[in-house]
Structure 1
């Protein structure tokens, strides 16, 4: 099991049981819950299901017990993820609009000690308009964790989280939230806002660029950094509007290369390549120089992945040398497949050149 999986273990469950017993909830099912050798998401589900057995059957009684437990400062951390899921389950099962709204208030309370970004997804799915109305009000909350929940919980592609299809179909519905928070005093909140807009770029690239253009028309000292982070994927993909907003101008380039040092790269080794980029225009050009590595997939097709190299201004007639490498050492985030791969250079979003190489079995040492 990974370190994240251990965030909810027997000790955390025991602590949660003790805290619930203090407020009159007998944690019988919780005490019998076993999460060893389970992934974190499954651990959350196991504990949530046990809580739904132990907590009072009605929403209001459950919410009262959770609020009472919150009086103890030890009621905090990862144990709150399954607690928040249980609260949402009770609220949705009630069918009551009042309970729905109250559950959002409970999430705002719990998020001050652990983010409610995962539990709120079912609220969004069940009542998008109402949840977004409340989340928009949260953008003015004095607690930075609540303001962040407004942005993070409503991301269209939040990692680890349950999908909310309507956020993907209607990417503009969260714009009031990010527009209210891009100048937030907290970097924690601003970073969430940038990631939120980067998610939007997957669904509606032009909308994401338009949002950032609006920010840059009304900037504060942090806005350029927030804008760069929000547009990072669009810049890699060569979106014209994003490139212009980030000041990457110029399309008159001569690119020699890329050239790979070796056309056979052993699994576990590095592919090294070089190139030269010359500004053939008459004006200085601010450039984003990246490279595209086309990885071979299990079925044999090639799939591109863009990697950043450098950003710099290139004077007319100036040549910039590129010399870098990529490692094929084993990693948990990517599986490598033997066979032909390819590399392209990308300058201000436009691909140049193409070099191929074969990823081969590593020779066994004698």
Structure 2
């Protein structure tokens, strides 16, 4: 079984934090910090642990924020020496977000400095939410930074619907202010940065589908393979929903004369095993067709209703009169993002966003 996410923050990490801060701040009470940060930690989930460590920082760092920020910055890795890094910087993000608004520029500079050692995407959001124009004016300058972590922070930290983080309601409603950042990074040499751009555009597509479909149309002509991959990933929500403009951007059209037959090889699935199925697709139209084939699993919820989740599968060019069979196995096992319940589930086949076949299967919890 996978290690629980909460264990990313653990007593050993807290002790390391105390050691690194004590190295640069002789008056830091490492023992008190450690006791406060680890009190009852075993009972807490990940974000609760981060909050408790942040509170311990608040109680043991200098009350003067400028001095506290100076200690945190000096405790970061530098010149080959170890320092605060990795998940230890999640509560540092929270500390800066909670206490640093009155020192806007100093705080953004600290978050920029720490992001190469973890990420500051959580810390900068309160600054954007509080003073959007001022924050974006600074963040926009990071798109040309030599460090790819800083460039990624410019796109990831401004995502309107960043998971695990506070939403940015103003950017959810009107994302235009961050589009120049995304355009500037659309051909970044690092895939790590480009994927962040794609994720931000996908966030925007959930509220402004036409805006993103138009954005993709403007930037796909003559696009490199890397940019095209970015734009495809940015369009994933729209493609799963069968958005006509998004489909057209990638050469897909409404299906014509397409027949699909679905065979479920495992009508009864024991939890932990795999759902096996296959489809045979026939093109009965007089012209070849480009097909985007996905499938949706309709999972049983706690209240007995079904909730669909769409999964990407295959792209296929099918000639007129052509016929093609595809097999698939879908694992149904314990994951951190879903709770499974027994009962009759449903699998659907979507071709260019249209449901073309469906069948049920029975999930049993052994």
Q: Normalising to structure 2: TM-score of the pair?
A: 0.89
Mapped to 2, the partners of 1:71 and 1:263 lie a distance apart of: 55
2:172 is aligned to 168
Mapped to 1, the partners of 2:215 and 2:170 lie a distance apart of: 19
Mapped to 2, the partners of 1:152 and 1:23 lie a distance apart of: 30
1:203 is aligned to 207
Mapped to 1, the partners of 2:141 and 2:249 lie a distance apart of: 30
1:75 is aligned to 83
- Asked whether 1:300 is paired with 2:301, we answer no
Shift of 1:317: 0.7
Residues 122 and 264 of structure 1: CA distance in aligned 2, closer, same or farther (over 3 Å): same
CA RMSD of aligned residues (A): 2.3
Mapped to 2, the partners of 1:103 and 1:293 lie a distance apart of: 45
2:56 is aligned to 50
- 1:222 is paired with a residue whose SS is helix
1:9 is aligned to 10
- 2:75 is paired with a residue whose SS is helix
Shift of 1:5: 2.9
Q: Is the 8 A contact 1:171 1:203 kept in 2?
A: no
Residue deviations 1:158-186, cap 9 Å, x none?
22222332232223332111111010111
1:119 is aligned to 123
1:60 is aligned to 66
Mapped to 1, the partners of 2:177 and 2:215 lie a distance apart of: 12
Residues 165 and 340 of structure 1: CA distance in aligned 2, closer, same or farther (over 3 Å): same
Q: Is the 8 A contact 2:75 2:84 kept in 1?
A: no
Mapped to 2, the partners of 1:225 and 1:339 lie a distance apart of: 38
Structure 1 residue runs of 5 or longer lacking an equivalent are none
1:86 is aligned to 95
Mapped to 1, the partners of 2:73 and 2:330 lie a distance apart of: 51
Q: Is the 8 A contact 2:278 2:327 kept in 1?
A: yes
Residues 199 and 30 of structure 1: CA distance in aligned 2, closer, same or farther (over 3 Å): same
Residues 222 and 175 of structure 1: CA distance in aligned 2, closer, same or farther (over 3 Å): same
Shift of 1:190: 0.8
- 2:327 is paired with a residue whose SS is strand
Shift of 1:262: 5.4
Residues 16 and 211 of structure 1: CA distance in aligned 2, closer, same or farther (over 3 Å): same
2:255 is aligned to 251
Structure 2 residue runs of 5 or longer lacking an equivalent are none
1:234 is aligned to 238
Shift of 1:250: 5.2
How many residue pairs end up in the alignment? 357
Q: Normalising to structure 1: TM-score of the pair?
A: 0.89
